[in-house]
Amino acid sequence: MSLRNQIIFRILLSAIVILVLAGSLTLWQARRSVEKEISSSIQLAVDIMNLGINHLNLSSQDLSHFRALQPSRHLSIQLQQANGHLLSIQEPALNTQPESPPPDWFVKAMSVDFPSIEHQINTRDGQQLKLIITPRPLDEITEAWQESIMFFSSMSLLMVLSFFAIHWVLSKSLAAISVMVGTLRSIETGNYHHRLPSFSALELDTIANAINHLSSELQQAQSANQALTRHTLSIQEAERQQLSQDLHDEFGQSLTAIKVMAAAAVSPKADLTQISRSIQDSCEHLIQVLRSMMQQLHPLILSQLGLVATLEDLVSVWQKRYPNLDWQLDYDPDIDHLPDALSIQLFRVIQECLTNCVRHAQAQQIKIELHTLETTQELQLAISDDGQGCSDQQLYSGFGLKGIRERIHSLKGRLDIITAPQQGMQITAIIPL
């Protein structure tokens, strides 16, 4: 069932429950009103007769004065003499049948068992009369019926108006939701330029702003990823070009020299000792070049001896290049047992961080910390320096830190960078194990 139908169904169900409860309360209140009205009329009639006969000390011959009373809609009043003769003081009004009588079920629901009231009255001449008051509640029930009809008509009209108002508001809200769904589907296809308009409803406008913010963030992330991909491909091509150049310059020339020296060794006058020494020097040079190229492509020491030995070798290489810097390496011994995929990613992150520190930070001290957090089963990597730092605007101007962030995110970790101009930089990565 759609949201529109669910809301309409609940509104109709609530309206029916309200009408049932209101009807029950109205019937109960109308019954009490009829009962009170008839009881009050009876009591008033008894008090008037007592006042007129007892307190004014009237005789039985003066009872004709009460005939001038207007007929009551609710009562039939009679006096009965001692001999049983009835004196009609107030007969029921003519045409007591209402023009629009209430239905029988309503009359039965409102009917209260009102017995005839008999009251003894003593006149001045010593006669005893009996006052007989008979209730006639039909007119009062008719009034209650008309009031109930008016109440239910007004209530039904208000409910109908409320229903149309809710339907109008609901239609506008669902139309806004349809626009949001269409925008989300457009975003799903990669169209991050689409933006939602402003809405009059605060809640809908808040959701629209959140979707627009999400679209903007996705657009920026897409642009950053595309730039990072282009940079990665450019680096890859540059590495391939450098590898090709090294192979041509180093291996090509050295192998050509070895070939020439081997050909010269055939000559009877050749200095075999000098030729052999030259070939050995060329082979040694080729071995050094090969090791350097293999280290750039993939550190074999990482697969053979583990992450600890690889990091120590990496720091040792940097120390030889920059002996004036203070290099510190602090780690837990058990990091050698990390998975190979995690180890190579950590190595690349540390390698990139050290490269940035040397090239840009102008630091005097570089510290590397790698520890396992046993309480949370996480790995913490922290690299800090005392260099010149940078501002937030300069933080991701290059691709180095972007690549580091992407590597950490690929490991489902989180990266935190704390830096400020002339305050150094601290990079902390938390990676789940």
Q: Is the pLDDT of residue 93 over 50?
A: no
**Distance from CA of residue 206 to its chain's centroid?**
11
Strand order, beta sheet including 86-90: 86-90, 75-80, 128-135, 117-122
The rounded distance, in Å, linking the Cα atoms of 161 and 277 is 106
Greater pLDDT, 232 or 364: 364
Q: Is the pLDDT of residue 367 over 50?
A: yes
Report the pLDDT value the prediction gives residue 397, as an integer from 0 to 100.
Answer: 66
The rounded distance, in Å, linking the Cα atoms of 290 and 279 is 16
Residues of the chain with CATH 3.30.565.10: 302-432
How much of the chain, in percent, has pLDDT values that exceed 90? 3
Report the pLDDT value the prediction gives residue 158, as an integer from 0 to 100.
Answer: 86
Sequence-ordered alpha helix ranges (H) in 247-382: 253-264, 272-297, 300-305, 307-321, 340-356
Token pair of 290 as six digits? 């090969």
Average pLDDT of the residues in 187-214: 84
Report the pLDDT value the prediction gives residue 53, as an integer from 0 to 100.
Answer: 52
307-321 vs 340-356: helix axis angle to the nearest 10? 20
Strand order, beta sheet including 425-432: 326-331, 365-373, 378-385, 425-432, 414-419
Q: How do residues 255-271 score in pLDDT, each as one tens digit? A: 888 888 888 888 877 77
Report the pLDDT value the prediction gives residue 282, as an integer from 0 to 100.
Answer: 84
Report the pLDDT value the prediction gives residue 49, as an integer from 0 to 100.
Answer: 60
This prediction has a pTM of: 0.48
95 pLDDT band, cuts 50/70/90, is: very low
Greater pLDDT, 229 or 179: 179
Report the pLDDT value the prediction gives residue 382, as an integer from 0 to 100.
Answer: 92
For the domain 302-432, what is the CATH code?
3.30.565.10
Report the pLDDT value the prediction gives residue 87, as an integer from 0 to 100.
Answer: 64
The rounded distance, in Å, linking the Cα atoms of 188 and 177 is 16
Contact at 8 Å (CB) between 336 and 306? yes
Average pLDDT of the residues in 98-118: 71
Report the pLDDT value the prediction gives residue 59, as an integer from 0 to 100.
Answer: 54
Count the alpha carbons within 13 Å of 348 in the hemisphere toward its beta carbon.
Answer: 20
Compute the mean pLDDT over every residue in the chain, rounded to the nearest whole number: 78
User: Looking up tokens 């949001």, which residue turns up?
Assistant: 180
Q: Is the pLDDT of residue 331 over 60?
A: yes
Q: Is the pLDDT of residue 90 over 50?
A: yes
Average pLDDT of the residues in 362-389: 87
Q: How do residues 45-87 score in pLDDT, each as one tens digit? A: 667 666 655 544 555 555 555 554 445 556 666 777 767 776 6
Q: What single string gives the DSSP state of each residue in 198-214?
A: --SSHHHHHHHHHHHHH
Report the pLDDT value the prediction gives residue 332, as an integer from 0 to 100.
Answer: 87
Report the pLDDT value the prediction gives residue 75, as an integer from 0 to 100.
Answer: 67
